[in-house]
């Protein structure tokens, strides 16, 4: 068992590409930590630095309390499983599973026993005498997993081990990985770009974008109380409503979120009121999930939006409605990509740091200082509000409908996408 601590870790690839930017994160003993983010955000780079397959440009890696930046991969007691679980093609499944133990000169009887035990746990007993080429994708990944487990490492690193499998197999193997690593109690860092996989598997999720850690917390924390607009949108399997609103405090009586044709009021007793009032007169971003809007009868009092139903969408387990309410919407704010500016070869630590300082402003700590909204941000479009209707389409296209707004579930972000009221962690 092992703990992993990343302290301000940066990776600049030769040629100057900044793949991971001052990232700090820990995985506790026995924890299943999922690294989640879109393609190219630096997940594999981070995992490979932990495994020792990629040099750390600056910052520190601690494995079980030991500074491990310069440890050779074989001295880290780490087993890694990749997307295409590479197996020895000329060895049988049995041979693949036993190989790591043969290398370690384990007693042959013990090897035989463990291989059988493991193949049972992974449901691949019938394949033991077959070659990898004759297995299905799911079976191959099970063998790859088995080969990692058989060594009894103190840390598992898994890089999208399920992404080549079909949906059914993914779900099945996901549950098995979850119960297996928990039964073994081995600290595991699991990389995926699939938010459902992350939410269902993780003890905690760390979300990355463009090499920067966006948020970390339990699945419920990052889903319900996301630190950034990026996290909120990325974790939504349906689309997230991201709306532009201006904060007003008329006669200081209450807070009003002015959405143009609609206004929502927030009383001073709301725990977020003070933080929001600091933005009086400014435009902010309000996020609301489709299930935070509830269709109500036309005359209903209380916070609500009103609009024309443009289309309805059937999703099997639910209906979604697209409501034209005349509210300007925004896209997820993206900070300017500092990586574009890194060309010119930032090799050593000192050089990297000085470039980072010049780019980001020395000493600046708040996100606002680091990432001013890029030029071009704010191109609002008139959006449809996406509303979850449950399993009954209460409206027809072309009708007008009213939705109650659950004010407690509004997520409030600055224009650069940072949370206005600090998330509770």
Ligand X SMILES: Nc1ncnc2c1ncn2[C@@H]1O[C@H](COP(=O)(O)OP(=O)(O)OP(=O)(O)O)[C@@H](O)[C@H]1O
Compute the least distance from the CB of residue 16 to ligand X, in Å: 9
Report helix angle 108-121 to 93-103, nearest 10: 130
Chain residues that interact with Mg ion, rule: CB under 5 A: 44
Nearest to 254 by CA among 237, 274, 234, 238: 274
Compute the least distance from the CB of residue 19 to Mg ion, in Å: 11
**Position 43 contacts ligand X (CB under 6 A):** yes
Note whether 87 and 140 are within 8 A (CB).
yes
Looking only at residues 162 through 221 of this chain, which bind ligand X when binding is defined by CB under 6 A? 193
Judged by beta carbon, residue 41 or residue 244, the one nearer ligand X is: 41
Query: Which three-class secondary structure state does DSSP give residue 88?
Result: coil
Torsion over CA of 13, 32, 180 and 104, rounded to 10 degrees? 50
Among 4, 12, 32, 41, binds ligand X (CB under 6 A): 41
Count of residues that interact with ligand X, criterion CB under 6 A: 13
Compute the least distance from the CB of residue 225 to ligand X, in Å: 24
**Position 366 contacts ligand X (CB under 6 A):** no
**Position 45 contacts ligand X (CB under 6 A):** yes
Return the one option of Mg ion, ligand X, none that residue 99 interacts with (CB less than 5 to 8 A, by type): none
Report which residue's Cβ sits closest to Mg ion: 44
Judged by beta carbon, residue 40 or residue 95, the one nearer ligand X is: 40
3-state helix, strand and coil shares in percent for the chain, rounded to the nearest 5: 30, 30, 40
Compute the least distance from the CB of residue 9 to Mg ion, in Å: 16
Residue 109's H or E segment, with its range, is helix 108-121
> Cα–Cα distances in Å, from 392 out to 36, 53, 263, 313, 317?
33, 52, 28, 11, 10
Tokens of 218: 């339990």
CB-based contacts of 168, cutoff 8 Å, min separation 6: none
Compute the least distance from the CB of residue 73 to ligand X, in Å: 16
**Position 393 contacts ligand X (CB under 6 A):** no
**Position 82 contacts ligand X (CB under 6 A):** no
Which residues sit at the interface with ligand X, rule CB under 6 A?
A: 13, 15, 17, 19, 37, 39-45, 193
């Amino acid at each position: 068992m092992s703990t992993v601590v990343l302290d301000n870790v940066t990776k600049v690839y030769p040629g100057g590409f900044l793949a991971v930017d001052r990232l700090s994160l820990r995985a506790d003993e026995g924890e299943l930590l999922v690294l989640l983010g879109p393609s190219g955000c630096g997940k594999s780079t981070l995992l490979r630095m932990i495994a020792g397959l990629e040099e750390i440009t600056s910052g520190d890696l601690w494995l079980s309390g030991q500074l491990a930046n310069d440890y050779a991969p074989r001295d880290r007691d780490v087993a890694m499983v990749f997307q295409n679980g590479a197996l020895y093609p000329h060895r049988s499944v049995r041979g693949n599973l036993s190989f790591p133990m043969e290398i370690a000169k384990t007693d042959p009887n013990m090897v035989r026993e463990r291989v059988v035990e493991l193949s049972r746990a992974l449901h691949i007993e019938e394949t033991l005498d077959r070659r990898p080429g004759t297995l299905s994708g799911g079976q191959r990944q099970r063998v790859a997993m088995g080969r990692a487990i058989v060594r009894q490492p103190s840390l598992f690193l898994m890089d999208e081990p399920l992404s080549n499998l079909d949906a059914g197999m993914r779900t099945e193997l996901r549950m098995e990985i979850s119960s297996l690593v928990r039964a073994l109690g081995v600290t595991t860092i699991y990389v995926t770009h699939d938010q459902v996989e992350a939410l269902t598997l993780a003890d905690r999720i760390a979300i990355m974008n463009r090499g920067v850690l966006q948020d970390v917390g339990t699945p419920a924390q990052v889903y319900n109380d996301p630190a950034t607009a990026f996290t909120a949108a990325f974790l939504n399997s349906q689309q997230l409503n991201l709306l532009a609103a201006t904060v007003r405090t008329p006669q200081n009586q209450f807070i009003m979120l002015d959405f143009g044709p609609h206004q929502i009021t927030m009383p001073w007793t709301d725990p977020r009121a003070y933080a929001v009032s600091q933005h009086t007169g400014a435009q902010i971003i309000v996020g609301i999930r489709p299930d935070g809007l509830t269709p109500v009868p036309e005359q209903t009092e209380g916070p609500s939006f009103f609009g024309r139903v443009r289309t309805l969408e059937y999703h099997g387990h639910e209906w979604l409605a697209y409501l034209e309410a005349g509210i300007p919407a925004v896209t997820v704010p993206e900070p300017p990509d500092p990586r574009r500016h890194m060309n010119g070869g930032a090799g050593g630590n000192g050089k990297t740091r000085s470039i980072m300082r010049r780019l980001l402003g020395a000493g600046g700590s708040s996100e606002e200082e680091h990432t001013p909204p890029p030029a071009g941000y704010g191109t609002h479009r008139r959006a449809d509000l996406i509303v979850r209707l449950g399993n009954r389409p209460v409206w027809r296209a072309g009708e007008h409908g009213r939705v109650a707004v659950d004010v407690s579930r509004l997520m409030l972000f600055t224009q650069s996408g940072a949370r206005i009221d600090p998330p509770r962690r």
